[in-house]
Structure 1
Amino acid sequence: MSARFPVRLRRTAALAAVALLCAALTACASGEGARNLAVQDSDAAAAVVNFFSPMEKASPDADNTARTASDLTMAMAEEQLGLTMAYRTYTAEDYQDKTYDEVCLERVRSAKDDLYLLNADVIVALGAEGKLADLSGLACAQNLREEVRAANTVDGKLVAIPQEVVAYGLFVNKDIFKECGLAVPSTPEEFLEACRVLKEKGYDTPVGANRWWLETFVFAQAYADLYNGGDIEAEVAALNAGEARYSDYMRPGFEFLKALIDRGYIDAEDALKSEAFEGAGEGDDFMAGECPMVVAYWGAANTDTAYGNPSFTMEVVGFPSERGPMPVLSMTGYGVSAEAEHRDDALAVMDVILSDEALQLYAETNRVISPSKNVAVDCVEPLRPLNDLVQADTYVLASNAGMDVEQWGSVCLIVRDLLAGASVDECMAKLDALQDEATGK
């Protein structure tokens, strides 16, 4: 396994990442022989590209917008290139043996497939091992947002490209804030004061939380300057060389979370055991107007989704930082095995499904943020504050393959330690240990 993401972290963090990944993009298929994989029939006379991806639902025939959007772009590739996409799918009911990330690592290393949908930690590991093809020469790569390109570049090679960028934000019940005479907070200090007032007004848990997404508060404060005015390349190089410390970047965010926990603004005990959209303040409580704020990702605000039709005025904003509200972005990515049997065909598929034409279709179908700087779609009203920031290139990245320490999963697990009672210093020591391992110190 790559030293960039230790096995002890990868195994657990993969569960968080794959939950999002499965909700973001899926494919349907039927039986390959291995009990947790499936392959659709293909025309033996036609060129075939084998595509390995997760599946969101146990039933491959269940309706799913993300699957439909993905299939539409895959159909474009089949038509334009005269080939067949063969879906090889990891199914959710077989998680008990191996996580999706573990299966991806094995399959890419042995070049069992051509095209893959990968989580950020796997992109880092396989990119460092030289197991993923360099995509920088593709036409579709020329239209990427610069931060998206940076987040998927390992050792100078662009090794993955996403079909969408997942933006996390703070979902706010504006009616509660108005009743309490509060403005939506922009800075950490304003956020703490708003929580104090909300608790005094009878809202026992101002922030509904689960065990996956509280790291968003940390990233917003840690990297606000780095991604908004900093010298990204130089600062990342200093971190990879051990000349700068991740703990110095992240300490303010961990101290902020510790204050939220200590003052009872987050129910740490409940958050530690709760899945997404569950727990104190989340799910039913937020939708019932009994909890003022929750953390969730962009798609949760769309119609007919988790928080899509609230009975109150909802607004999705960035997380507090000294630079103001800050969206936190994460992404999965398509990658091609460097040793794929149908490598050239797979690269050609990438150029079709990630073209501006295909990304426009995908974004309009799923109403998501595109990785292309040329593609924009309208969003539901509650998402406008978050969308305005993203379109103005104001955000931070929670996944960056150029960083030798994997970000999203690693910080998620260390935040859980904080929820379980660890001190900020103990959490910083874990960050330092991860960095020292990555730099070989």
Structure 2
Amino acid sequence: MKMNRKGSLHKLWATCLIGIMILPLTACGKTNTHENLVSAEDADERIINLFGPMEKSKPNVSNIARTAFDLTVEMAEEKLELTVRYRTYTAENYQERTYDEVTLDRVRNNMDDLYLLNPDTIQILGAEGELLDLSVLESAKNLREAVKTANTVDGKLVAIPQEVVAHGLFLNKDMFDQYELALPNTPEEFMECCRVFKENGIETPIGANRWWLENFVFAQAYAELYNGGDTEALIEALNEGEAKYSDYMRPGFEYLKELIDKGYIDAETAYTYEAIEGEGADFLDQKTPIVMAYWGAANSDIAYGKTDFNLQVIGFPSKLGQMPVVSMTGYAIGKDAEHLEDTIAVLDTILSDEALKLYTETNKVISPSQNIEVECIDALKPLNDKINENIYVLGSNAGMKVEQWGNTCLIVRELLNGATVDECMEAFDKLQEEALNK
């Protein structure tokens, strides 16, 4: 099967990282065209320009994620006596160009001061030297290692998020108890759970969609890379071509293929399902015991925040046990920002522990600051415990020359659509060859 991937990567980010604040509205927000494209500053007013996917929250509009961000922006505006002007992406204003395509253009042309970027654009712009090294921020001293690792390009910390998004397996614990199954740690234990469910009449043990199966691959591919103590050296070997991404990825793809071949995943259905919208109903109706989602889905009433069973969220199976998969967007500053000093001060304020505590408590998410703990629901404690122990793998890492999340997502979709594991590995080899030749 021919692997046709050209032009697809930028078109999938908004769905692949649905759990991150930036993404639900990247293709459907409404704004005034002139507000989006024109800057007219009053001479006596200090203004910095923020480019992102959404407008400032309107009164009487329920949007918790955006309200939390607005609260931290207001904190910066009051402290620094300036104004943060939101310049908002909308697809109709950009002739259907994606958010990533637009941010690449705006950063390269120094059109704004502060940007909210997806991991692939962080990687590209960081490598091009377009982004400021944020290690100059006082708040950068408090960051978790996962944040610094994911957003460092050529030794420079080029982006910082307000939250860390952890992906995990969402399990119906009551169904596991019914068949006397312990929650799985390893790929072998997980496979055995699926076998028992299947033999007891559960047609499809794993409810899957076309976006998040790559988490199974990441957990198996990179468990030792991120938790073995020599992460930098192993990534450098990949970046230099001394090691192959396909060698890391192959076990995970072979595992997914086995899950499909045994009927534990319905590949044809998964290929058509959008995240949560497709498989969520069967999970909530207790027809399937296993789905995968991001941290925030456990808190959201429109996702899995209200279940009629004992919900547990754990890491994905790996040789090192349950493994959360972490991804994140990030705020970045153009290195030649017009209002550079004020922009640094604003970002330092909204990333301060004071502001991040407010953001974390409002959204109930994992903070990028190692000093701030989230008060999570019981269902999320297994996942939260792993993160606090610094046990995780990164699904997005700007320090890797081959972009991870989007590319792996696309290649997994080819597997769902009938590609062989060897064909999938050839696609990774081609990506690595292209990266090495740049």
Return the TM-score normalized by structure 2: 0.93
Contact residue 25 and residue 66 of structure 1 kept, 8 A: no
Tell me which of 418, 425, 428 is aligned to 1:431.
Answer: 428
Give the aligned partner of residue 153 of structure 1: 152
Mapped to 2, the partners of 1:120 and 1:373 lie a distance apart of 21
Amino acid at match of 1:214: L
Give the aligned partner of residue 234 of structure 1: 233
Give the aligned partner of residue 212 of structure 1: 211
Give the aligned partner of residue 352 of structure 2: 355
Mapped to 2, the partners of 1:57 and 1:357 lie a distance apart of 21
Mapped to 2, the partners of 1:60 and 1:94 lie a distance apart of 24
Give the aligned partner of residue 185 of structure 1: 184
Mapped to 2, the partners of 1:23 and 1:440 lie a distance apart of 32
Amino acid at match of 1:173: N
**Deviations, residues 68-100 of structure 1 (Å, cap 9, x unaligned):** 110010011101111101001113666871111
Give the SS at the match of 1:16: helix
Show the 5 A alignment for 1:348-427.
Answer: 348-427=345-424
Tell me which of 266, 286, 290 is aligned to 1:289.
Answer: 286
Contact residue 26 and residue 66 of structure 1 kept, 8 A: no
Give the SS at the match of 1:50: strand
Mapped to 1, the partners of 2:398 and 2:75 lie a distance apart of 29
Change (3 A) 1:198 1:158: same
Give the aligned partner of residue 224 of structure 1: 223
Mapped to 1, the partners of 2:426 and 2:6 lie a distance apart of 18
Contact residue 216 and residue 256 of structure 2 kept, 8 A: yes
Change (3 A) 1:26 1:273: closer
Q: Percent identity, aligned pairs only?
A: 61
Shift of 1:200: 1.1
Tell me which of 311, 332, 337 is aligned to 1:335.
Answer: 332
Give the SS at the match of 1:49: strand
Moved more, 37-46 or 213-222: 37-46
Give the aligned partner of residue 135 of structure 1: 134
Change (3 A) 1:174 1:20: closer
Shift of 1:148: 1.1
Give the SS at the match of 1:182: coil
Give the aligned partner of residue 112 of structure 2: 113
Give the aligned partner of residue 75 of structure 1: 74
Amino acid at match of 1:261: I
Matched, 1:33 2:34: yes
Gaps of 5+ in 1: 1-5
Contact residue 20 and residue 165 of structure 2 kept, 8 A: no
Contact residue 16 and residue 409 of structure 2 kept, 8 A: no
Shift of 1:42: 7.4
Mapped to 2, the partners of 1:60 and 1:120 lie a distance apart of 31
Shift of 1:23: 5.4
Mapped to 1, the partners of 2:228 and 2:81 lie a distance apart of 45
Mapped to 2, the partners of 1:65 and 1:334 lie a distance apart of 19
Gaps of 5+ in 2: none
**Deviations, residues 33-87 of structure 1 (Å, cap 9, x unaligned):** 28xx378997652210111111399999731100011001001110111110100
Shift of 1:175: 0.8
Shift of 1:381: 1.0
Matched, 1:323 2:314: no
Mapped to 1, the partners of 2:361 and 2:321 lie a distance apart of 29
Give the SS at the match of 1:294: strand
Mapped to 1, the partners of 2:356 and 2:127 lie a distance apart of 27
Contact residue 49 and residue 85 of structure 1 kept, 8 A: yes
Shift of 1:24: 6.4
Contact residue 18 and residue 100 of structure 1 kept, 8 A: no
Contact residue 58 and residue 92 of structure 1 kept, 8 A: no
> How many residues end up aligned between the 2 structures?
432
**For the aligned residues, what is the CA RMSD?**
2.4
Contact residue 21 and residue 66 of structure 2 kept, 8 A: no
Give the aligned partner of residue 99 of structure 1: 98
Contact residue 120 and residue 331 of structure 1 kept, 8 A: yes
Change (3 A) 1:67 1:290: same
Moved more, 216-225 or 96-105: 96-105
Matched, 1:313 2:310: yes
**Deviations, residues 261-294 of structure 1 (Å, cap 9, x unaligned):** 1111111011111111133xx1111111111010
Shift of 1:26: 7.7
Change (3 A) 1:179 1:405: same
**Deviations, residues 222-268 of structure 1 (Å, cap 9, x unaligned):** 11111112311111110000001111111111111001111111110
Change (3 A) 1:325 1:18: closer
Mapped to 1, the partners of 2:249 and 2:316 lie a distance apart of 14
Shift of 1:303: 4.8
Give the SS at the match of 2:223: coil
Shift of 1:113: 0.8
